[in-house]
Structure 1
Amino acid sequence: MLRGKFLDVNATLRDRVESVIRTEILRKETMERILRVNGGKPLNGEITVRGAKNFVPKAMVASLLGNKPSVLSNVPLIRDVDVVSELLSLHGVHVNYDQGSGTLQLDPSNVETAHVADIDALAGSSRIPILFCGPLLHRLGEAFIPDLGGCNIGGRPIDFHLETLRAFGARVEKLEGGIRLSAPDGLHGTKIHLPFPSVGATEQTLLTAVMAEGLTELSGAAIEPEIMDLINVLQKMGAIMSVDTDRTIRIEGVKELGGFVHTSLPDRIEAASWASAALATRGNIFVRGAHQPDMTTFLNTYRKVGGAFDISDEGIRFWHPGGELNSIVLETNVHPGFMTDWQQPLVVALTQAQGLSIVHETVYENRLGFTRALKEMGANIQTYRECLGGLQCRFGQRNFTHSAVISGPTPLRGAEITVPDLRGGFSYLIAALAAEGESQVHGIDVISRGYEHFITKLRALNADVELITR
């Protein structure tokens, strides 16, 4: 009886503490952070990029599959890493992150089923929870995935993820607020063909296939550097897989996996974003950590536009060499093509190029929506539903606005703008920095999902910025 009273007191105290925490979280969420930017000045100096946002969270999820601890280095302090850390902790993984060194220690020894309410509290923060399905089905035999969020740049349906998991033998049940999956008979290797080389679908297949019984053959797979680094991690854990030149990945399932010690590849998207900022502001930025082999296509395009760069073992220096920038025809594509995430920041620089530039987006159908704010700032941009370029893509047939013609150069003027998504948000920052006058950028916390310490880095580049809270 006495023990029961203590439990009641502890439960009451816990409820009070949780109530205070929820109140504080709500207070912070309702406070708006705005970045005031006085533009028209070149960005000059040095910044550092760490691990890739499109790889690090996926490697963290992979640690769930192991029966031993894992260590991941070069980890950036971004919101997506926070979300995955919280989700892993909810499932019993011990997570220890050293911010100074960027080292993450992950111990999955005590994996357990998380409470639905706790998982649901993170719903809307990220789409990464869908990738927990395969590892949790292997470790626990079940998984719950909340309704998912992410950037509104086009369709990222989870239907294919669910169909993939069904192909492995998972049972899928739709519940209020999410989806419950179970695998009473275990998961088994299968054949999967991707009609489009989706990064997320490839990651889902890899994370599920490595411990599924038998052989899995994935054709039409994505082969981005981040995918290849995930394969490196899984191989270190004990997975058996091969990658053919025709985008076919074959995975032989194993009964158990260990841990890994791995250093993340650098973030090629962030590096290219700062490169575009140097070009748009007529600046000079050394991006420590930028890696040439992962950026070959971007560097070729950057040079065609008229940007200059110098490559060293420590990073890449990007600068505007003076004179006029060149207009270009640009089409995004899956790797090794021009990455869709490079497109938005470079479009800002193209508003300062001489003549007509044509951009054809073939990966995400709504990625050109961010150009509306650029037009309000003075850019001359027309968008079209037709495929403007050499590629006939799937969006032209579906009547999406996915091509743009940019006429320049046009001076940009300061404005009040709201961040639409992660890459569009950083592009707005570039536009505000290049524009004459003051801009107020709302919704900047979205940018923290993929850009580590971006305000600190802006100040290191002598940007005139001020963070205000309302």
Structure 2
Amino acid sequence: MNLARDAQKAGARVGLTSDRIVIEGGKPLRGRIEVRGAKNLATKAMVAALLGDSPSLLQNVPEISDVHVVTRMLDAYGVAVTSPAEGELLLDPSNVLKAHFAQIDALAGSSRIPILFCGPLLHRLGEALIPDLGGCRIGDRPIDFHMDALRAFGAIVDKSYEGIRITAPNGLKGAHIELPYPSVGATEQVLLTAVRAEGVTELKNAAIEPEIMDLIAILQKMGAIITVEPNRTIFIEGVDHLEGYTHRAIFDRNEAASWASLALATDGDIFVGGAAQQELMTFLNIFRKAGGGFDVQEDGIRFFRAGELKPVVVETDVHPGFMTDWQQPLIVALTQADGVSVVRETVYENRFGFTDALVEMGADIVVHKDGYDSPTWRVPRRPLEQVAVITGPSKLHGADVNVPDLRGGFSYLIAALTAQGRSSITNVGIISRGYERFVEKLDALGADFALVD
């Protein structure tokens, strides 16, 4: 994937007129911003609309480039997507048809969503063609879990130079599936496939993230029968048909945590409208330990510093653990804490690549690429884990940096806004994949910046 080209396209889809931003840092940011629906739910809910026999209405949809990519994919398959009001999408699947492989291939470089089309397309069309997958370069994100799950349902998977062709000549049957790791994507794949498969599907070691539970709520509204039991086990009883849904997407907890980390790093005071406590409890505990304060209100959460920043030890894990998407923005704030913080990444193996630029800006961060043993670790050791040791406080200074991925990109914004002096950040279009109107929000918070051609 060409990151620079992809970033430009991503930004253009949501009205971002430049792929470079220049920031004058060292100023506390204060004000109110709003977060809408979660990137990790909205796009999956759009795919789920393919399963319905009638139109679906998705509300609280964020204006991000990933939503635009999925809209174009659905359009390629004949799904009519319209916007009856701001933040709403009406998805009509009544004329679903086979898309030309070239159309989907052209879009896949901007998203990993195509893999989740498999189940719905097998039910609707009897086959699915999946090209190579794109997305952020944050480590090994194998599709083996997905393919193994589809095979368990009776699908036939053929690989070629073009990509992957999946068929189900005898239909899809319920299956007993145990994931080797509670993968969010694989859990979504099973849910989207099992709801129309014949018989009962038992899924063990499933992901149970809030976005997964919200997807289950959508599927239940459509007519699915899904039971979530203890110990990460989900039972899905297949049904003959599903109707459309009306649903308001859960808020984006990753975006909310990112703005909270910005408030912590810059000694600011930011009210994140639309954020809710329940889905952020694990983050809020670490935020408080690090010296942050928060005020939970009915319409959102206010984030601020409650005193001197303190070092913390963080281990990422699947829900209900500390999300991997939260650690990158938080690391920037931890560069300002007095002492040694430790962040152990156990989900993706390449999530610390962004710290090289932070070191250039003056941060003291040492990455142990193979991790290390500690009797205090709570999460079991995993083969691809890494550990970052952050010693602070560090005086960050401006620098020229290039956005590597979505969360790393927003972390660079935080670093530039925290640093003294001027920073130039390129490839900012990538940030628009998951942060709605982030430039407007920075402006509302009083950031000193300019978009540059």
TM-score (norm 1): 0.91
**Helix, strand or coil: the match of 1:452?**
coil
Task: Tell me the SS of whatever aligns to 2:352.
Answer: helix
Partner of residue 63 from structure 2, selected from 54, 77, 89: 77
**Hey, what does 1:244 align to over in structure 2?**
229
Aligned to 1:55: 41
**Secondary structure, aligned partner of 1:88:** helix
Residue 162 of structure 1 aligns to which amino acid in structure 2?
Answer: M
How has the CA–CA distance of structure 1 residues 141 and 401 changed in structure 2, closer, same or farther, with 3 Å as cutoff?
A: closer
What is aligned with 2:139?
Answer: 154
Distance 1:171 1:434 in 2: 52
How big is each residue's C-alpha offset from its partner over 1:429-455, in whole Å with a ceiling of 9 and x where there is no partner? 000000000000011011010000000
Q: Does 1:208 align with 2:193?
A: yes
Aligned to 1:12: none
State the partner residue of 2:431.
Answer: 447
Whichever of the two has the greater Rg, that structure is 1
CA contact (8 A) 2:317 2:379 kept: no
Instruction: Write the deviation string for residues 19-77 of structure 1: whole angstroms up to 9, x where unpaired.
Output: xxxxx979x79x96101011000111110000000100000000000000000000000
In structure 2, the partner of 1:138 is 123
- Tell me how far apart the structure 2 counterparts of residues 266 and 421 of structure 1 sit (CA, whole Å): 21
SS at match of 2:391: strand
Match of 1:147, SS state, is: coil
Change (3 A) 1:32 1:285: closer
Is the contact between residue 32 and residue 443 of structure 1 (CA under 8 Å) also seen in structure 2?
A: no
C-alpha deviation, 1:324, in angstroms? 1.8
Moved more, 418-427 or 386-395: 386-395
Q: CA deviation at 1:313?
A: 0.3
Would you say 1:419 and 2:403 are equivalent positions? yes
RMSD: 1.6
The one-letter code matched in structure 1 to 2:296 is I
Describe the SS at the equivalent of 2:40: coil
Q: Percent identity?
A: 62
After TM superposition, give the deviation of residue 393 of structure 1 in Å.
Answer: 4.0
Deviations 1:200-219 (A, max 9, x none): 00000000000000110000
How far off its partner does 1:304 sit? 0.6
Does the CA-based 8 Å contact 1:416-1:441 persist in structure 2? Answer: yes
Q: What's the counterpart of residue 4 of structure 1? A: none
Letter in 1 for 2:174: G
The one-letter amino acid of 1:357's match is: S
Does the 8 Å contact 1:111/1:139 carry over to 2? yes
- CA-CA distance at 1:123 after TM superposition: 2.0
Q: Are 1:390 and 2:377 an aligned pair?
A: yes
User: What are the equivalent positions in structure 2 for 1:394-413 lying under 5 Å apart?
Assistant: 394-395=381-382, 398=383, 400=384, 402-413=386-397
Q: Distance in 1 between the 2:396 and 2:346 partners?
A: 27
Report how many aligned residue pairs link the two structures.
439
For 1:112, give the aligned amino acid.
Answer: L
Which of 259, 263, 273 is the matching residue for 2:258? 273
Matches within 5 A, 1:163-178: 163-178=148-163
Of the three residues 80, 98, 108, the one matched with 1:94 is 80
Relative to structure 1, is the Cα distance of residues 293 and 52 closer, same or farther in structure 2, using a 3 angstrom cutoff?
same
Residues 32/48 of structure 1: CA separation in 2 closer, same or farther (3 Å cut): closer
